[in-house]
Structure 1
Amino acid sequence: MGNRQRIAAAVLAVTALVLGPAQATADPLVRQVRGSAAAKALARVQYLDRAAPLARAVAAEYGIPASVTAGQSILESSWGQSRLAVNDLNYFGFKCTSAGPGPFAVGCHDYPTTECTPDCHQVQALFRVYDSMQASFRDYGRVLSTSKNYIAALPLAHDPNAYVTEVARKYATDPLYAGKVIRIMQENDLYRLDAPLP
């Protein structure tokens, strides 16, 4: 049984436990909820199918834990569903700098965003635009491995939780950022991405 079938079976089993088997399959609202829950779960599986090899490639090229790369991409892009990810293939929320979009991005796009400094407020910012998901992931690897903002995280690469905790100090203005990424890594067993491939 593949991942998609396991997800559909799990959704049906939970619905049947709550409502009883007959109602779980007969009620149109239940079918709709079950369908949307299954669709959401399937979209997440599909996102990880695409992101996992890219996260492992970032680990191989730049020494960043694949679990952290995948976890940050999930948080930053809402499982690849954010406007920034869909429109501009930006999976990490990278902004353009005064020097421009950088070596991997192909342009900049203006979006509203929330900054917490320390109070949270809306601002307009220019975000990087990429021509592929791979370019977004490679840019992430380049930035985290070369920027002085993240140099203190490099020796912690063997410990994904410590690594992302250190990265979060400069990566985001959200004081809960590291905890959010760690929770995503735990809930989705992303640490498995750090293990060598068989």
Structure 2
Amino acid sequence: MNRSTITSAVTAILIAGAGISVDNILNTNSQTHQVVDATTQQEFLNKAIPAATKASSKYGTYTSVMLAQAILESNWGNSQLAQEPNNNLFGIKGSYQGNSVSFSTSEFSDDNGYYTVDANFRKYPTYHESFDDNGNLLRNGLNGYYSDTWIENAQSSSDATNGLQGKYATAPNYAQSLDKIISQYNLTKYDPKITDVNERKVIQKTCSVTSAPVESSVGKLVKTLHRGDVVDVTKYIAYGNGVKYALTNYGWIDAIAIVPIVSQAPVAKMSGVSVVNKIVKINYIPKYGIAVWQKPAHHVVGKYLAHGTSWRVDRQISINNHLWYRVGTNQWIDSQYTIVTYDSKKVAEPKTQAPASPVSSAGRNEVAAHGIVTVSCGNYQKLAVVNAPAGKLTGKKLANNTRWRFFKIAKADGHFWYNLGGNQWVIADYVYEK
């Protein structure tokens, strides 16, 4: 057997990993490595860095440590086991999705010392699967066997390598060897950026809370947060591939699920509130909504008003030259995301020309007109239909946002009215023409 493939003087690593039994990893730390030139090293890093970053961000480990392990165990990918088509960078034994490759290797026992055996080693399609397997081992080793290497427990890559000493390999200088590689090749620049913060954010989409900064499919589910939930964030862990975790008062979440609260300005007193009578239409982003606040610029309640829906406003207040509307008890919205479609103080006349002089409810001073109007009376309201301009109720009601064809326009009692056919009229204050 070629010594550059598997050495004849290695010891088994003492581990008990999930799906990987004791003696199931080959320790190549004591093998005699061939000298690898700078070009080969860079070629290896070009392939290994994306795979290591993906695995470390998935399992919550230090990228530099995984890279150093792969360099040390595979001699920069130069060992036969690490080369294609094997791609086994960590000497893990067994089979991967039914694929394996057999090599002769040395084992050690107290009774027999070193002896040579044939063993099957996992065969991976690419480096990505090899790094993923090693990341899974570090995170899911039996009863947290490698918990000292986890990003949330190790303050630095050096702490993480110490967590491997005597566990991943029996060589007395294993951690020291990894630290030397990390330092010599500046591998810490590939590690995630860890930032301590003190922020309050709001959840923008449903997300899982896990007990560790790992992919949700890997971590233990703590609870689920929903849109509008407010969280306190104390730490971020951001990896080079864009994966970012946030530590909240509930646990770890994917940071993509949170957004800033627009304003944290306290509202000590609700002074300066004005009574109004308006209909506003939410003008935000199609298929999305705006947050409802318990108090203006103070605290979201977890409800959202969808883009394009209309709502009645009965109060408004200006805070720091910013206008807020009340759409219900302890329910306020930011006016910047709305369009006023009706204001009792500024009643817009219909686009279609109507008679200038008022008529009585019994009068027929009307003008023929054609078009379509849309009801705008608020989601919890319906628009009454009367039998004539300013006439009596017919008992029919039109739902908000429904569209109707009109045939006449009249003016009565200071308001414009649309005829929807026959003796069916609606007040123009709560509809608008398309």
Normalising by structure 2, we get a TM-score of 0.33
Task: Provide the residue aligned with 2:177 in structure 1.
Answer: 180
Q: Is the 8 A contact 1:51 1:70 kept in 2?
A: yes
Residue 149 of structure 2: aligned partner? 153
Given residue 150 of structure 1, which amino acid in structure 2 is its aligned partner? Y
Q: Any unmatched runs of 5+ in structure 2?
A: 1-34, 194-239, 243-434
Describe the superposition over 1:45-83 as per-residue Cα deviations: whole angstroms up to 9, x where unpaired: 111111111111112100110000100000111101101
The residue matched to 1:169 in structure 2 has which SS?
Answer: coil
Q: Which has the higher helix share?
A: 1
Given that 2:63 and 2:192 are in contact with CA atoms closer than 8 Å, whether structure 1 keeps it comes out as: no
Residue in 1 that maps onto 2:100: 108
Q: Kindly indicate whether structure 1 or structure 2 has the higher relative contact order, using CA contacts under 8 Å at least 6 residues apart.
A: 1
Counterpart position of 1:17:
none
Greater alpha carbon shift after TM alignment, 183-192 vs 168-177 = 168-177
1:138 has 2:132 as partner: yes
- Answering whether residue 89 of structure 2 is matched by residue 91 of structure 1, we say yes
Alignment-derived partner of residue 51 in structure 2: 54
- Contact residue 86 and residue 125 of structure 2 kept, 8 A: yes
Distance in 2, Cα, partners of 1:50 & 1:120? 37
How far 1:95 sits from its partner (Å)? 1.5
Residue 105 and residue 183 in structure 1: after superposition, are their counterparts in 2 closer, same or farther (change >3 A)? farther
Q: 1:56 to 1:121 in 2, by over 3 A?
A: same
State the distance in 2 between where 1:107 and 1:142 align: 18
Query: What's the Cα RMSD here?
Result: 2.5
Q: 1:181 to 1:168 in 2, by over 3 A?
A: same
Alignment partners' CA distance in 1, 2:113 and 2:149: 26
Question: Where does residue 24 of structure 2 map in the other structure?
Answer: none
Question: % of aligned pairs identical?
Answer: 30
Which protein shows a greater Rg?
Answer: 2
Change (3 A) 1:91 1:108: same
Other structure's SS at 1:57 match: helix
For structure 1, list consecutive stretches of 5 or more residues without a partner in the other structure.
1-36
SS at match of 2:37: helix
What is the TM-score normalised by the length of structure 1? 0.69
CA distance in 2, matches of 1:120, 1:179: 25
Decide which moves more: 175-184 or 133-142. 175-184
User: Which structure has greater strand proportion?
Assistant: 2
Q: Alpha-carbon deviation of 1:110?
A: 2.5
